[in-house]
Amino acid sequence: MYAEFELDIPDSLDGALGIMAAGAAKGVTPLAGGTNLIVDMRAGRERPVRVVGLGKIDELRGIVCDGDRISVGGRTTVADLLYSPEIAAAGPSLVEAARLFAGQMVRNAATVGGNIACGSPAADLVPPLLSLDAEVTLVNGSGTRSVPLDEYFLGYKRDLRGQDELITRVSWRRPVERSANAFYKLARRKGDAITVTGVAVTLSAEGERCSRARIALGAVAPVVMRAKRAEALLEGETLGFAAIDAAARQAAEECQPIDDVRASAGYRRHAVEALVRRLLTQTRDRLI
C-alpha cells in the first residue's frame, strides 16, 4: 500500500480523543476494523494525514444490557453481534444482518461504529438499528452527545460526526410491549456480497392493532432511510393484509433508488415493495 500517514495506537479513550482533537484541523481518521478504510486508502479514495488505531481501547468493545437499555460499544465487532445471546433477544434483525455481513474474516474485524461512520447507504447493520430506534453516542475531548441514528446521516457518505469525535456506542430501548423485528438482505449471494436492497422492520402491537411501526430501507436512497409515510399507514391500524399492502406500496413510493452496477432503480423499487410486504407479514404473524 502506498498511502502515507502517521499512525497512533493509543491505549485509552482519553488518549485517542487527545490525538483526535490535535489532528482535527489537518485531517485525522479513526481506524477500527479497517475493512473499509484500508481498502479506501489503497484505492486513494481516503487520504488521511493521521490515523488513530482504536484496537487497544477495550472499553469501546462489548454489549451491555442495563435495565431496558441495550448498549453496544463502537468497537464491538460484527461477529460479536452474531454470537451474542443478548442481541439475539433484543434485536434478532441485527443478528440476521450480522450473519449476512461480508465474509467471516471481515465480520471478525469490522465494527458497529465503523459500519455507521462509513455512511454507506448499503451498510447492513444500519437498517436494523434504525428500525430499533437506536441512538449514536459521540464523544470528543470536551463532552458527550447522543443523537438519534435517524438524524445521524446528512447525505451520501456524509454524517454529523465532527473531525474530533468518536462513536463510542450505539444503544436502544428494549421494547417492553409485544414487539417483533426482522431483516432481509437482497444480494447476489448470501455471503461476501454487497446489498442490492436491505429491509428491516420492527412492529409493536396491542391486541391486533399496530402501536408502533418502523420500516428501514438500505441501498435505495443516498442514506439508509426510514419509510415514514409507510410507517404512518400502519400505526393505529389493525395489522391485516390491507394495511400491510398499503404500507408496502407506500414504501416503494417513497424510496429513492438509483441505477447502478448491482441493479436498476426499477428493480430496487419492486424489491422494496415485495420485501416490506413479506417482512411485515412475517413479523405480524409472530405478534398476532
Nearer to another protein, 2 or 176 (CB): 2
Hey, which residues between 7 and 26 contact another protein (CB under 8 A)? 7, 9
The reply to whether 258 sits near another protein by the rule CB under 8 A is no
Hey, which residues between 194 and 233 contact another protein (CB under 8 A)? none
Block residue for cell numbers 430499533:
132
Q: Are 187 and 193 in contact (CB under 8 A)?
A: yes
Nearer to another protein, 14 or 192 (CB): 192
Report d(CA 103, CA 120) in Å as an integer. 18
Nearer to another protein, 107 or 284 (CB): 107
Report d(CA 143, CA 154) in Å as an integer. 22
Please select the residue that binds another protein; options are 11, 14, 25, 39, rule is CB under 8 A. Answer: 39
Nearer to another protein, 30 or 257 (CB): 30
Strand partners, 203: 180, 213
The reply to whether 176 sits near another protein by the rule CB under 8 A is no
CB of 3 to another protein, least distance (A): 5
Nearer to another protein, 35 or 168 (CB): 35
Please select the residue that binds another protein; options are 63, 81, 102, 123, rule is CB under 8 A. Answer: 102
Please select the residue that binds another protein; options are 30, 33, 73, 127, rule is CB under 8 A. Answer: 33
- Tell me the number of residues near another protein by CB under 8 A: 31
The reply to whether 27 sits near another protein by the rule CB under 8 A is no
Block residue for cell numbers 419492486:
270
The reply to whether 155 sits near another protein by the rule CB under 8 A is no
Report d(CA 88, CA 261) in Å as an integer. 33
Show the binding pattern over residues 105-124: x = contacts another protein (CB under 8 A), - = does not.
xxxxx---------------
- Which cell goes with 227? 419509510
Report d(CA 256, CA 224) in Å as an integer. 10
Query: Which of 157, 152, 141, 167 shows the shortest CA–CA distance to 20?
Result: 141
Please select the residue that binds another protein; options are 191, 207, 236, 266, rule is CB under 8 A. Answer: 191
The reply to whether 44 sits near another protein by the rule CB under 8 A is no
Pairing of strands 6-8, 50-53: parallel
Q: Are 131 and 180 in contact (CB under 8 A)?
A: no
Q: Are 255 and 272 in contact (CB under 8 A)?
A: yes
Write the DSSP string, 51-101.
Answer: EEE-TT-GGG--EEEETTEEEEETT-BHHHHHT-HHHHHH-HHHHHHHHTS
Burial of 17 (0-12, 13-18, 19+ CB in 10 A): buried
Nearer to another protein, 8 or 133 (CB): 8
Nearer to another protein, 48 or 128 (CB): 48
CB of 107 to another protein, least distance (A): 8
Residues binding another protein (CB under 8 A): 1-7, 9, 31, 33-35, 38-39, 41-42, 51, 53, 55, 99, 102-109, 190-192
